[in-house]
A and B are shown apart, each in its own frame.
Chain A
Amino acid sequence: MANQGIGQAVRRKEDFRFITGQGHYTDDINRPGQLYAVFLRSPHAFAKIRSINTDAARKMPGVVAVYTGKDVAADKVGGLICGWTVKDKQGNPHKAPRHDIIAIDHVRHVGDQVAVVIARSTSEARDACEAIEVDYDVLAPVTDVRSALKPGAPQVHADAPGNLCYDWEFGDKASTDQAFAKAAHVTKIELVNNRLSPNPMEPRSAIGEYDSGTDSTTVYTTSQNPHVIRLILCAFVLGLPEHKVRVIAPDVGGGFGSKIFNYAEETVCVWAARKLKKPVKWTSDRTEAFLTDAHGRDHVTHAELALDKDGKFLGLRVATMANMGAYLSTFASAVPTYLYALLLAGQYTTPAIYAEVKAVFTNTTPVDAYRGAGRPEATYVVERIVEAAARELKMDPAEIRRRNFVPVDAFPYQTPVACVYDSGQYAKALDEAMKMADYANFAKRKAESARKGNLRGIGICAYIEACGIAPSAVVGSLGAGVGLWESAQIRFNATGSVFVYTGSHSHGQGHETTFAQIVSDKLGVPMENIEVVHGDTALVPMGMGTYGSRSLAVGGSAIIRATEKIIDKGKKIAAHLMEASVDDVAYDKGIFSVKGTDKQVPMAQIAFTAYVPHNYPADLEPGLEASAFYDPANFTFPAGVHIAEVEIDSATGVTTIANWVAVDDFGNVINPMIVEGQVHGGIAQGIGQAMLEGVVYDPKSGQLLTASFNDYCMPRADDLPSYKVGMIETPCPHNPLGVKGCGEAGAIAAPAALMNAITDALGTEDINMPATPQNVWRVIQRQNLAAAAE
């Protein structure tokens, strides 16, 4: 068992079913008598619905029902909600216009649902969709934030004048203004953080099923947080009693944030299943995923950094316009505010920071959390402007960072933007990364590239993120509608094996392994005797789910608390069995012993005794199980340094990643194999954002031009390098595992590292993500770099 506990690269328990094709994803599940839903979607970005005629569709073969927004409204179904209320500069709540699960009077983005056909097969439902006649009054759309804020712009919602969701501020404006007044140098930068489609490989899917005998509803859905979905469906949208609804999120094929949210389609499946008393299933195709899965990012930012003559940061000023899309998605409002501006200190001691954020409605797919959620945007601003400042001041970009790092002896460190950083060794990560990247010899490699006619650049990103989301009272004070604790339950069987129930949800993160390692380590139970159960509200205590790199720091901590309760009870049983006082019983790795004697009892015997309590303490309940809820004391602050090195073909603009180094500090590491895997995946998504991916709307028609993998460039194996990953472990001081979280780091660090490398190669800051071959080539032409290289 020595190679199974905390810190070991244990191979994953969940893998067998996946490598043999025996996973159970939602679309793999079929219920008796199941019907199939297909949505008719708006072909227009913005239009008034004059009328809908479903007569012909209803008569098509296999069609069971056709519903429009009016049918939904007749049942008094609520709209989809935003669960986090942000207050603007004046203290007024944000604008959250109604978001019907099927549009009633207007469609506001291409793909907005207009009607649903429910039929015996998907093909028949699709055939019937084409027979629905919709009379649209097509309106001029607006798709980008700058245009949407202009006077006279099309108004996406009548109750959000000027398309403004909120105009929000954070930080101290006066002290920041003072910092700029005394600055020796000010660096300014304009940045676009491109819009992304999350694209988990498993498209969303849902089945609604109603049992009229018990008046109960079961929902199978591709969710990162089944309890949250149950809560929203019951308490806000459908008005169902929570105890009559079971939400199951079985194997889920990736989420990256996009499967946090409550969507119209799963809601319609539940509503229609109850109406028809038949299971109703919907599975997204990829184009629907592009049209309806919440997108990520889409910021336009102006930032200014004030520095003294030695390159010390004095102040940072940031003005951002954030595109919310056509409706406010489940947690959309929090992303460009509390998950963004609070991270603008980065790893630095910048004493004064002020941020303004305008959130804007447009005729585009809603935007919400996508891997990193606000924190990649913050890191991108900080690390691009820091790099630009170094270049302007002709300082080594590593040196300017080192001069401004929060020093190791300053923790806990209070930033000017509310966060208290828990622990870190920022300079150590930079030193290690520079060594691994052979930073010192970059000039030689650049000269070698130049001889071949190519451009070469190197870029650093020193990122920080706030994970372990989150202390409930803190997020409550900031407008969250939920608490962000996590639950765990450990249930021993009489034979000594263990069920671990967690409110976290695993959709690739490997919780079934990592959480089992923790329990194995703490309770001395072999890995193969531990079953981690998640994703079913009927089995698992109320939990908040997985996002924001929170599962180990919060859910893992809850498991630790539960193991402590098990051990406490075990001591009482052990004391009885060994005829000792409880105070004399010691516990270590599954063995209870009496201090100073050779008496001992293993955990398995304690479990057996608890369920067969023939010889048992009189005042103790039988059974061995424990529940725990853990509400974190603070966020955790993983940090690290990534260094990217690129070579650019000056004839074509093609960028090749020559080297990638990541040195991350996630606190203690439970399973280094899984953690490295998370880093790899995050980097790939960050590289995707920086040089491959981008959602593009036609500004005139509002059509989505990147609605398939033919036009949206997903990272492929040959786009990417192998990564060099290093770790520093500075334990988190405020949770029992000392862990910080690792799921989003790569996606947060990579864009700035890569863009700093590309801008280094090109000699200009003036290029936006994604730095595609065409975009890079245009800069090469503008800068006349091809001629210089030849």
Chain B
Amino acid sequence: MYAFNYHRPASLADAAKLLGGASDGKFIAGGQTLLPTLKNRLASPSDLVDLTGIAELGGISASGGAVSIGAITKHAAVATSADVKKAIPALAKLAGGIGDPQVRNMGTCGGSVANNDPAADYPAAVVGLNATVHTNKRKIAADAFFTGLFETALEEGEIITKIEFPQPKRAGYEKFRNPASRYAMVGVFVAETANGIRVAVTGAGPCVFRHTEMEAALGKSFSPDALKGIKTDPAKMNSDIHGSGEYRAHLVGVVAKRAVQNALG
């Protein structure tokens, strides 16, 4: 790692101020993605502003047909939360499958969403459930939040405070893991929401995306068989030594069917 300054503010206002005052500052929450990046000297921030001391960013609450998860809530807490398990079991399952137990004890919901790694799980849930991302400045709709590879709608210094997941009628998540890294090579979140079916795919492409053809098909019949014959364009998929575009495109179909099956219980 390159040298940096470290700050641990207790309030959102202080956090924003510290970042603003740094020449090239970065927020850190659990650090489970950021620290490996820093250790490999792939980034050299001047300052790290640790958000985990800000009490108002924590906590899980369920009310009014939605589950709100504070930005610094750890994956393990989401996975084991009675509220989440009751309202959106697919979300609890997703959180319980991120990384490994040790990563889940440190990594946070807000950190994962803000980082928007193409192979992360949370973006699939945010898009699949049409969640709303709350920040210290505004509310951002899921469809407008993830803008590209490691890119989001967050502005400089903007801090995610919580994510509000509307409770779906039913939902399912399934992922096919990269055999080596265990990140999602293809992850599909399927939800039947108040406003129709949503199918969000992570891992396969450069950024989480909605599979509109699958959404239409599942709108007609919410069953794995409804997805038969639906193709995904290999040219739009990521490709690496573990999975070519063709393989990933194929897996999107298989994994989506299994996600639907999970939603059906």
Contact = CB atoms under 8 A, between A and B. Distances in A.
Given A651-B254, A706-B241, A777-B250, A772 B176 contact: no
A773 B254 contact: no
A710 B181 contact: yes
B179 A773 contact: yes
Given A696-B241, A774-B243, A652 B180 contact: no
Interface in A743-790: 772-774, 777-778
Contacts of B242: 711, 772, 774
A711 B178 CA distance: 9
Contacts of A706: 180, 241
Interface residues of B, number: 18
Interface in B76-119: none
Of residues A123, A692, A706, A774, which shows the largest number of chain B Cβ atoms within 10 Å of its Cβ? A774
Given A696-B241, A774-B242, A711 B181 contact: yes
Contacts of B243: 774
A39 to B, nearest CB: 15
Interface string B213-251: 000000000000000000000000000111110010011
A616 B197 CA distance: 96
Contact of A705 (B179, B241, B247): B241
Interface string A121-153: 001001100100000000000000000000000
B228 to A, nearest CB: 10
B1 interface: yes
Given A705-B241, A772-B242, A774-B242, A712 B180 contact: yes
Nearest to B181: A710
Contacts of B254: 651-652
B109 to A, nearest CB: 22
Interface string B176-207: 10011100000000000000000000000000
A692 B179 contact: yes
Contacts of B176: 652
Interface string A182-195: 00000000000000
Interface string A106-131: 00000000000000000100110010
Interface in A629-677: 651-652
Contacts of A652: 176, 251, 254
B241 A711 contact: yes
Contacts of A772: 179, 242
A696 B240 CA distance: 11
Contacts of B41: 126, 130
Given A651-B254, A772-B242, A709 B247 contact: no
Nearest to A716: B182
A276 interface: no
Interface string A367-392: 00000000000000000000000000
Contacts of B247: 774, 777-778
A777 B176 CA distance: 14
Contacts of A586: none
Contact of A713 (B2, B3, B180, B240): B180
Q: Majority SS of interface residues in chain B?
A: loop
Contacts of A714: 180
Of residues B180, B240, B241, B243, which shows the largest number of chain A Cβ atoms within 10 Å of its Cβ? B180
Nearest to A719: B179
B32 to A, nearest CB: 13
A710 B2 CA distance: 22
A712 B41 CA distance: 20
Interface string A697-734: 00000000110011111100001000000000000000
A270 to B, nearest CB: 28
B1 A123 contact: yes
Contacts of B251: 652
A123 B254 CA distance: 46
Interface string B24-61: 00000000000000001100000000000000000000
B19 to A, nearest CB: 25
A696 B241 CA distance: 8
A713 B40 CA distance: 19
Contact of B244 (A130, A710, A774): A774
Contacts of A778: 247
Contacts of A127: 2
Interface string B247-264: 100110010000000000
Nearest to B179: A713
Of residues B40, B179, B244, B250, which shows the largest number of chain A Cβ atoms within 10 Å of its Cβ? B179
A78 to B, nearest CB: 34
A163 B231 CA distance: 47
B211 to A, nearest CB: 18
A127 B3 CA distance: 10
Contacts of B2: 127
A692 B41 CA distance: 28
Contacts of A711: 180-181, 240-242
Of residues A130, A692, A705, A772, which shows the largest number of chain B Cβ atoms within 10 Å of its Cβ? A772
A684 to B, nearest CB: 15
Contacts of A773: 179
Interface string A147-161: 000000000000000
Interface string A284-299: 0001000000000000
B229 to A, nearest CB: 13
A126 B41 CA distance: 10
A699 to B, nearest CB: 12
A242 B181 CA distance: 45
Contacts of A705: 241
Nearest to B183: A710
Given A127-B2, A711-B180, 13 more contacts: A130-B41, A652-B176, A692-B179, A696-B241, A705-B241, A709-B180, A711-B241, A713-B180, A719-B179, A772-B179, A772-B242, A773-B179, A774-B247
11 contacts: A652-B251, A706-B180, A706-B241, A710-B181, A711-B240, A711-B241, A712-B180, A713-B179, A774-B242, A777-B250, A778-B247
**Which 9 A-B pairs rank lowest in CB-CB distance, beginning with the nearest?**
A713-B180, A710-B181, A651-B254, A713-B179, A774-B247, A711-B180, A696-B241, A774-B243, A705-B241
